[in-house]
Amino acid sequence: MAYSTPLTAVSSTALTAAQWNASVRDNILETPAAKFTTAGRIFVSTGANAGAERAIESTTVSTSQTTTNTSYTNLATTGPVVTVTTGTRALVFGNAFMSSNSIGQKSWISCAVSGATTLAASDIISGEFQAYGSNAEYRGGFATLFKALNAGSNTFTMQYRVSAGTTTYQDRELTVVAL
């Protein structure tokens, strides 16, 4: 956004079309409302007197699938996966329905980033579930602000791991607010 220098009104002095356009019209065209091109978007600051339209995207994978991996991995149906253009930050929410077959077993969901930025899924950014009974069930999630992304097209992929045994994941949802 680059606003032009405002005019000072002088009594009984007419504005030329060029003065009006440069001072009034052009400044109105620099407002966030004039910059939006798609419904459901937000406008974020990208620097001093600068901004950009950003997306809020969400997707769900309903398929019930399992893993026994103790390191973060994709399930048979990868994801959910969200690709958005971000600045250097993104607010990410993930959740899933989890059920395990072993008392004391822990299960995690996290998020990996690829594209302009490469970050592995991690327990630091995760939702954790511990089974306190056999065939325990839980809906859990995480919310995190990624603060050191490379600006550009970033892909966020939910991934999964367990401490032992088998966990079933279902109705997995990932939402990314690009900032």
DSSP for the chain, please give it: --PPPPPPP-TT-PPPHHHHIIIIIHHHTTSHHHH--STT-EEEEEETTEEEEE-EEEEEE---EEE--SS-B--SS---EEEEEESS-EEEEEEEEEEESSTT-EEEEEEEEEESS-B--BTTBEEEEE-SSTT-EEEEEEEEEE-SPPSEEEEEEEEEEESSS-EEEEEEEEEEEE-
What is residue 162's predicted lDDT score, i.e. its pLDDT?
Answer: 96
- Domain around 162: 54-178
Residue 160 lies in a domain: yes
- Work out the burial of residue 6: count CB atoms within 10 Å of its CB; fewer than 13 is exposed, 13-18 middle, 19 or more buried: exposed
45 pLDDT more than 60? yes
Give pLDDT tens digits for 108-157.
Answer: 999 999 999 999 999 999 998 988 877 778 889 999 999 999 999 999 99
Give pLDDT tens digits for 67-83.
Answer: 999 999 999 999 999 99
Question: What average pLDDT does the structure give for the chain?
Answer: 89
- Whether 163 and 70 have beta carbons less than 8 Å apart is answered as yes
Per-residue tokens: 117: 């930025």
Residue 121 lies in a domain: yes
Residue 168 lies in a domain: yes
Q: Which residues pair with 100 in a beta bridge?
A: 167
Residue 129 lies in a domain: yes
104 pLDDT more than 80? yes
Residue 33 lies in a domain: no
Torsion, Cα 65 70 71 74, to 10 degrees, reads -10
Are β-strands 152-162 and 81-86 bridged in parallel, bridged antiparallel, or unpaired?
A: antiparallel
pLDDT band at 38 (very low <50, low <70, confident <90, very high): confident
Residue 105 lies in a domain: yes
Residue 13 lies in a domain: no
Domain of 139: which CATH number?
A: 2.60.120.760
Q: Give pTM, 2 decimals.
A: 0.82
Residue 126 lies in a domain: yes
Show Cβ contacts of residue 59 under 8 Å, excluding neighbours closer than 6 positions: 79, 80, 81, 82, 173, 174
Give me the number of domains the chain comprises: 1
